[in-house]
Amino acid sequence: MTVREIMTTNVECLSPDATVTEVANKMKTLDVGFIALCENDRLVGTVTDRDIVIRCIAAGKNISACMARDIMSKDIFWCYDDQDVKEVVRQMSEKEVRRMLILNRDKRLVGVVSIGDIAKVEEKESGKALKNITDAA
């Protein structure tokens, strides 16, 4: 089974120049905790709801002036939409991440897959991955 078959496709990119408030509002609208950041049609980072709390609010930054680029993670973990789910699980486990951005072969963002998406179809594999991810934390 390819990751394309289980990924979530309502993924959107925001500019790293978006305010943290704009990022949070987009997360609310999409009902997600993770936003990709793109510049010139290329991925440059990600922001999670946890990044907003830890890197902005808890760090005492002015939330009105804080930009996505100020709190984004620059390490971007991705795979291709035609990769096998088990390979993606292996990569998620190695990178110790709970979400993976999905690109097509033109390297355009087409989706995101979470450990929860995988758990719905690959119970044994997602269990191993989650164990590796949580053991690292």
Task: Give pLDDT tens digits for 43-102.
Answer: 999 999 999 999 999 999 999 899 999 999 999 999 999 999 999 999 998 998 889 999
Q: How confident is the model at residue 120 (pLDDT cuts 50, 70, 90)?
A: confident
DSSP H helical segments within 73-122, as ranges?
A: 85-95, 115-119
Domain limits of the chain? 3-136
Q: What is the pLDDT of residue 60?
A: 94
Torsion, Cα 21 22 24 27, to 10 degrees, reads 170
> pTM to 2 decimals?
0.80
Q: What is the pLDDT of residue 22?
A: 97
Residue 134 makes CB contacts below 8 A (sequence gap 6+) with none
Name the strand (E) or helix (H) holding 13: strand 13-14
Radius of gyration, CA atoms only, the chain: 15
The predicted model gives 112-124 an average pLDDT of 81
Q: What is the pLDDT of residue 7?
A: 94
Rounded Cα gap, residues 3 and 63, in angstroms: 36
Residue 134 has pLDDT above 70, yes or no: no
Q: What is the pLDDT of residue 130?
A: 56
Fold of 3-136: CBS-domain (3.10.580)
Q: What is the pLDDT of residue 40?
A: 87
Q: How far is CA 85 from CA 7, 10, 96, in A?
A: 10, 19, 16
